[in-house]
Chains A and B, each alone.
Chain A
Amino acid sequence: MVAPVSPILDAVIAVNIIADLILKFKDFGIEVNLENIASKIAEQEAAREHNISQLNEKMGAST
């Protein structure tokens, strides 16, 4: 008989596994090569700036 496990613990374990999956299976949709890597970095840098701006906006005065 399997001992009952806390739903929260279950959820934390699930999140742990999914976080690992994300980090393991991250890819870029298209081939990254020596020719396009600079443009891929530029795209991600633009996304980072946008995301940080959104985060700062949502955090408001508390930051």
Chain B
Amino acid sequence: MKRLIKALCTISFLVYAMGLTGCANQTATEQISAQTKDPAAIAKAIYLDSLAVYNDALTTYLPYVELVKESNPAAAKMIYDKFMQADAVLQDFKRWSQRGLPGNMDQKNFRALIRDLSIEIAKQIDKGGQ
């Protein structure tokens, strides 16, 4: 449980830090959509948001990989596979962004995938810390 609290503190700090910086907490998609209706630009913004969310989740997990791997190798492998699954979706997003087709990029499902992955990671960190 102590490790989960540590993870929560880390994540909370990230949220806090992100809230302190930047321009009114707008995503790239919101910012670019406010500037243009060009689908090619909006597609790039969606790809950028998705990349950033993916990197945040991965960066948060990296310090705990060994802990999860030691306590539950199967879970570590499952988390790894999910990151690779999300990475494959990102590569699809990259292709769609290059073709200027934002309608083909299911950002909502991608965010749900990363969100579920983050929750799974927190659960495994909690188990590993007990």
| Nearest chain A CB to B91 CB, angstrom units | 10
Query: Are A23 and B22 touching (Cβ within 8 A)?
Result: no
- Given the complex of chains A and B, what is the CA–CA distance between A28 and B18 in angstroms? 8
A7: interface (CB < 8 Å): yes
* Chain A binding surface, main DSSP class: helix
Query: Are A40 and B48 touching (Cβ within 8 A)?
Result: yes
> Which residue of A11, A23, A52 is within 8 Å of B1 (Cβ)?
A11
Query: Which residues of chain A come closer than 8 Å to B51, judged between CB atoms?
Result: 41, 44-45, 47-48
Query: Which residues of chain A come closer than 8 Å to B25, judged between CB atoms?
Result: 24-25, 27
Query: Are B55 and A16 touching (Cβ within 8 A)?
Result: no
Query: Which residues of chain A come closer than 8 Å to B54, judged between CB atoms?
Result: 48
**7 A-B contacts, Cβ less than 8 Å apart?**
A16-B119, A18-B8, A19-B119, A26-B56, A27-B25, A34-B41, A54-B62
Please list the 6 inter-chain residue pairs (A to B) with the smallest Cβ-Cβ separation, ordered nearest first.
Answer: A27-B22, A44-B51, A58-B65, A15-B122, A51-B58, A32-B28
B contact residues vs A (CB 8 Å cutoff): 1, 4, 7-8, 11-12, 14-15, 18-19, 21-28, 31-32, 35-36, 41, 44-45, 47-49, 51-56, 58-59, 61-62, 65-66, 69, 73, 76-77, 80, 83, 87, 90, 111, 114-115, 118-119, 122-123, 126
A contact residues vs B (CB 8 Å cutoff): 7-8, 11-12, 14-16, 18-34, 37-38, 40-41, 44-45, 47-48, 51-52, 54-55, 58-59, 62-63
